[in-house]
Amino acid sequence: MPNLTPTSEVVISGAGLWNPDHVLTNEELVDVLNRYADQYNTEHQAEIDAGELEPVAKSDPDFIAKASGIRQRYVYVKDGILDVDRMRPRIPERADDELSHQAEMALNAARKALAAANKTGQDIDAVIVSCAYTQRAYPAIAIEVQAQLGIDGFGFDMLVACSAATFALHRANEMVRSGTARAVLVINPELTSPQVNYRDRDSHFIFGDVATAMVVERGDQANAEHVYDILGTQAKTVYSNNIRSNFGYVSHAFESDPFAPDKLFHQEGRKVFKEVCPMAAQHLAEQVETVGVDVKDIRRWWLHQANINMNQLITKRLLGHEASQDEAPIVLDQYANTASAGSIIAFNLYHKDLGSGDLGVICSFGAGYSIGSLVLRKR
């Protein structure tokens, strides 16, 4: 393991984005949920009339587009989701000696990030796979990816829901800065669709699947075309029950149904909106000030992608006007909420046009609550 001299220059030198082939539109999701509602409500009409059961509420594509800005999402496996008798993806189980689904997603993005950084596995000392869920506890997905890429070093998985990517970039920054690694590969294989309750109109439209990756390395060894100095990082967590998933390995031991709605993603969306927006705006203003620059000096904001109205509110508070697509790009219309990958997708798609010296901020906010940010300057 390298024990290098600490460095004050740490950079992001490569980014990768991979999305599955399958598109799922709002209309498709609404159609299956509404068919399910008709079926369930007819079957349980007597109990519903007697006030013993709640009817299943129907969804509406116009509500979804207006309330969230989401128009479609990519899903790793589409088969099964639109089957009214199943309404969850039918993901084929793989044998222990096969590549796992999440490692495959991770590799698709990692290889692109390595190519962009002009690096191979031999140049990397550590792999962090960081996302909202990992498909198993051990062996770590990161170690599986490490083996596939021929990386001699170490890897580990970490979970911080929507801030998994930014918090992992913070760890990578610290590792490179302190000299424990020359370069770190940070990967976010966000396989969210198995945790979505496609029967719940409040949340059935929110998530999509994607994988993103970044290479964080010593500034003195970077030789890529687009290199960004990390000027500062900031993280904040404040406990909240408003976004939860209760599924975990202990579900096996509980008496309750391991597939009950509370075991899947659920939230108090309105409360999240109200509480997180001011927190994120304040966090960003402070973070920019900490590195000694002004909000108006930031050329681009690569923000978390949960809800278009949230991003508009946050940027309005920060900038005093509604941000343009050039200032704070929106990608959730195509990708939906991809947990921690959202801001990294925005970076992937909107960074090559920046000029030398331009400043940008990556920021995530979500479950926990958790907020994470990085201020970057293009070399």
Question: Which residues participate in catalysis according to the annotation?
Answer: 162
Size of the site for ligand CO8 (CB under 6 A): 29
Output the CA–CA distances (angstroms, integers) from residue 67 to 62, 70, 270, in the order listed: 8, 8, 10
Q: Which of 18, 76, 167, 207 binds ligand CO8 (CB under 6 A)?
A: 207
Q: Does 367 bind ligand CO8 (CB under 6 A)?
A: yes
Q: Which of 337, 343, 348, 373 binds ligand CO8 (CB under 6 A)?
A: 337
Q: Which of 73/201 has CB closer to ligand CO8?
A: 201
Cα dihedral 251, 164, 105, 123 sign: negative
User: What's the 3-state SS for 230-290?
Assistant: EEEEEEEECCCCCEECCCCHHHHHCCCCCCCHHHCCEECHHHHHHHHHHHHHHHHHHHHHH
Nearest-CB residue for ligand CO8: 366
Q: Which of 142/303 has CB closer to ligand CO8?
A: 303
Q: Does 259 bind ligand CO8 (CB under 6 A)?
A: no
Burial string for 19-43 (b: 16+ CB within 10 Å, else e) reads bbebebebeebbebbbebbeebbee
Q: Which of 183/306 has CB closer to ligand CO8?
A: 306
State how far the Cα of 56 lies from the Cα of 49, in Å rounded to an integer.
Answer: 13
Q: Closest separation between CB of residue 343 and ligand CO8, Å?
A: 12
Q: Which of residues 126-155 bind ligand CO8 (CB under 6 A)?
A: 132
State the Cα torsion 306-307-312-313 to the nearest 10°. Answer: -90
Q: Which of 265/350 has CB closer to ligand CO8?
A: 265
Q: Are 103 and 162 in contact (CB under 8 A)?
A: no
Q: Which residue type does 136 have?
A: R
Q: Does 339 bind ligand CO8 (CB under 6 A)?
A: yes
Rg of the chain over Cα atoms, rounded to whole angstroms, equals: 21
Give the binding range for ligand CO8 (CB under 6 A) out of 44-52, 168-176, 268-276, 315-323: 268-276
Instruction: Return the residue matching tokens 């050329």.
Output: 299
Q: Does 185 bind ligand CO8 (CB under 6 A)?
A: no
Q: Does 267 bind ligand CO8 (CB under 6 A)?
A: yes
Q: Which of residues 36-65 bind ligand CO8 (CB under 6 A)?
A: 59-60, 63-64
Q: Which of 4, 48, 53, 67 binds ligand CO8 (CB under 6 A)?
A: 67
Q: Where are the alpha helices (DSSP H) in 118-253?
A: 141-148, 164-178
Tell me the CB-side half-sphere exposure of residue 308, using CA atoms within 13 A: 18
Positions in the binding site for ligand CO8 (CB under 6 A): 59-60, 63-64, 67-68, 132, 161-162, 192, 195-196, 201-202, 207, 243, 265, 267, 269-270, 272-273, 306-307, 310, 337, 339, 366-367
